[in-house]
Structure 1
Amino acid sequence: MKKFVTVLMALVIMASFALTGCASTATPTAAPATEAAAPATEAPAATEAAPTTLYKVGILAPAVTHGWVAAVAYNAEARCKELSDQIEYKLYTSSNAEEMTTQLDDLLTWGAQAIVAFPQWEGMEVPIQAAIDKGVTVVNFDIEINATGVYRVSGDNKDMGIQGAKYIVDKIGKTGTVVMLEVPTSGSVSELRKAGFVETMADIAPDMNILTYATKFTREDGLKDFADILTKNPQIDAVYSMDDETSIGVLQAIKEANRTDIKVVTGGGGMQEYFKMMPENQNIWIESALYSPAMVKDAVDMALSILKGEKVDPVKIIPTTLVDRDNYTEYLDANSPY
């Protein structure tokens, strides 16, 4: 009997050790499960602590009158899409100041915090000033207007005129007859380019004969108006045109009239089609003052920086680059919409 009891006690002790061993091995496997679950409970709190803020940005652009204007709207929208994780946007195009004013009011009703505007017409000063007075950030692209507190991104319009004058003098000398094609309907763009051209000519070639005519930034107007100019002027040495589209019309008029006296035609904007024309006629120096529509992306970036509270300069001027048959291949871009 004692032997039986002793054996029974030994079995009980062994069972106790076995149970203790199972409990100790289960603990380490449970610990990693607890540690892995911890981040899952913390993640929602982190997400709630850092909500995404989308700023409301409105874009006001002119209706398409030629490729350059179309490219402005294209590039503005492209940049807004690239910034879709930071901004919500609405884009409007308009045909006149009244329509753009109505669209500006729509953007204010929508709750726009910033507006990138390309106001090509006179009369936009008052509605833009009203928007600024309501606390809305306004960044003008290209156009300079009389409004307090407006920001602006632009090419150097006056320098385009300065460089155009220097280019013509370099090619034809300090005397001759130059036709200057101004575009009064474009506001400060034409005024600044004209001022740069006229002032520089007066300084470096005071004996140059400058004939001034009004036209528009379209090839159709360039063709029509310059065909008439050619009939009135039997001798023209150079043409100071402010826009590539206008210049394409000018070149067509020259070709159709079989004129061989004109040695220089300038332009402005940076149009791919115009670039490709530069080497085709070795008798005429075809030049463009690069004024890329992609600059509007800088205006969108400026608006976003201001909304974020970052410090920016109120005016950003992008320098002028001249393109002609000597360097045009450097600026060819098959993906450009202009």
Structure 2
Amino acid sequence: MKKVLVGLAIMLVATSFVFAAGTGEQGKSTKKQLMGVVTPSADHGFTAESIRHCEAQVKALAAANGFDYRFMTAAESGEQSNAVETILGMKPTVMVLWPVTGDELRSAAQSVMEAKVPLIVYDRFIEGLTPTAEISGDNVAIGEGAGRYFNDFFKADLAKGTVNYLEFKGDSSTVPMERTNGFLSTADKNFTLDQSFVTNWSQQTAMEQMENFLNTKSVAEIESIKAIWTHDDEIVFGIVEALKNYHGSAKINIRLINGVSAGMGFMDLFENSGLKGIDFMTYTFSPSMVRDAVDLGYKVMKGETLEKNYKVPTEMIDKTNFKAYMQSDMYKTRYSL
């Protein structure tokens, strides 16, 4: 019995040593700072690229500056909420959150703020919540710029009457809302929306939606469409495939299709789309922007005070400047991994 008690005493001393190992002189904690990062899973090309850039930046900063991090991805809002709660239990110094859907992450985000942990929200915002800082591409500017571009491109047509167009949105988050509102604020009132689709950022879904439109609408309605306003390059790829596969009796009168992202695949459309008479335009929205969100998290760790809102500038890319853009630092950084 004495041997057992002695053994227990040794175990207790060892346990006490393990818990005390995190303290230094005068009981001061030597525990490293911890950055928590939660992102969506790689459900399409943009998020896959973003995740690579995000994790690379966290690793580089952690290695260079001696802090710890926990990086988690999740496909659904419920899984993201669980990831946030898991990291919150680790007592992070700061949290960087890229929500799948902002509204569904409100409770988890609120719990971070109630725990007095600085919160950086990236890309898809949470309406009604004011975190430490928000950062995203300038979605409103993208929409506004696209509206002005459409006005110039169809100037002669608009002078004669209406120009019918289709819209292909990403999802129901704040990102498409900002882009659509921006577009409507600058686009000529003679642009008439024929139909709007929600693609969930899927190339395959966009292709199926476009195919359904071409196969079910009247010849007159199909031929009336002159422009397609989309929220992402990958959506455009699906639309292009549907148009290339169309062999119906209607004449395709579409003359302009825009994207958002300005990725490598879109650059090929300017000279090799396989579609005659259709021009393309996109706006820069690089997956590498997420590095800026991580950088903001590190600034918080250093005790810096952040602004409430950050917008990453965007640039229009079309056939007149895409080759110069492909030589830019922005483009090279995007494909540096």
Q: Same fold (TM over 0.5)?
A: yes
- Measure how far apart 1:190 and its partner are: 0.7
1:331 aligns with 2:322: no
1:69 aligns with 2:47: yes
- 1:274 corresponds to: 266
State how far apart, in whole Å, the 1-side matches of 2:258 and 2:236 are: 7
- 1:221 corresponds to: 205
Distance 1:80 1:53, change over 3 A: farther
- Measure how far apart 1:328 and its partner are: 1.3
- Measure how far apart 1:76 and its partner are: 0.8
- 1:188 corresponds to: 174
Is the contact made by 1:278 and 1:286 (CA closer than 8 Å) also made in structure 2?
yes
Residue in structure 2 matching 1:115, options 95, 105, 119? 95
- 1:212 corresponds to: 195
Q: Sequence identity of aligned pairs in percent?
A: 22
State how far apart, in whole Å, the 2-side matches of 1:150 and 1:129 are: 11
- 1:29 corresponds to: none
State how far apart, in whole Å, the 2-side matches of 1:176 and 1:126 are: 43
Structure 2, gaps ≥5 residues long:
1-24
- Measure how far apart 1:172 and its partner are: 2.1
- 1:290 corresponds to: 284
Is the contact made by 2:262 and 2:282 (CA closer than 8 Å) also made in structure 1?
yes
State how far apart, in whole Å, the 2-side matches of 1:311 and 1:116 are: 16
Is the contact made by 1:129 and 1:148 (CA closer than 8 Å) also made in structure 2?
no
State how far apart, in whole Å, the 1-side matches of 2:59 and 2:312 are: 23
1:168 aligns with 2:146: no
Q: TM-score, structure 2 length as denominator?
A: 0.79
1:317 aligns with 2:301: no
- Measure how far apart 1:54 and its partner are: 4.1
Instruction: Name the stretch that deviates more: 221-230 or 146-155.
Output: 146-155
Instruction: Name the stretch that deviates more: 106-115 or 225-234.
Output: 225-234
- 2:240 corresponds to: 251
- 2:255 corresponds to: 263
Letter in 1 for 2:235: T
- 1:177 corresponds to: 164
Is the contact made by 2:36 and 2:70 (CA closer than 8 Å) also made in structure 1?
yes
Larger Rg, first or second structure (1 or 2):
1
Residue in structure 1 matching 2:108, options 117, 127, 131? 127
Paired residues, number? 285
Is the contact made by 2:95 and 2:297 (CA closer than 8 Å) also made in structure 1?
yes
SS at match of 2:104: coil
- Measure how far apart 1:228 and its partner are: 1.5
- Measure how far apart 1:270 and its partner are: 2.2
- Measure how far apart 1:260 and its partner are: 3.4
- Measure how far apart 1:90 and its partner are: 1.5
Residue in structure 1 matching 2:138, options 141, 156, 159? 156
- 2:73 corresponds to: 93
Deviation sequence 1:14-37 (CA, Å, 0-9, x none): xxxxxxxxxxxxxxxxxxxxxxxx
- Measure how far apart 1:269 and its partner are: 1.5
Structure 1, gaps ≥5 residues long:
1-47
Is the contact made by 2:257 and 2:280 (CA closer than 8 Å) also made in structure 1?
yes
Letter in 2 for 1:261: N
Letter in 2 for 1:151: A
State how far apart, in whole Å, the 2-side matches of 1:52 and 1:241 are: 51
SS at match of 1:82: helix
- Measure how far apart 1:140 and its partner are: 1.0
State how far apart, in whole Å, the 2-side matches of 1:304 and 1:337 are: 22
- Measure how far apart 1:254 and its partner are: 1.3
Is the contact made by 1:71 and 1:337 (CA closer than 8 Å) also made in structure 2?
no
Is the contact made by 1:244 and 1:274 (CA closer than 8 Å) also made in structure 2?
yes
Instruction: Name the stretch that deviates more: 291-300 or 53-62.
Output: 53-62
Distance 1:241 1:182, change over 3 A: same
- Measure how far apart 1:337 and its partner are: 7.3
- 1:33 corresponds to: none
Is the contact made by 2:121 and 2:131 (CA closer than 8 Å) also made in structure 1?
no
Q: TM-score, structure 1 length as denominator?
A: 0.79
- Measure how far apart 1:53 and its partner are: 7.8
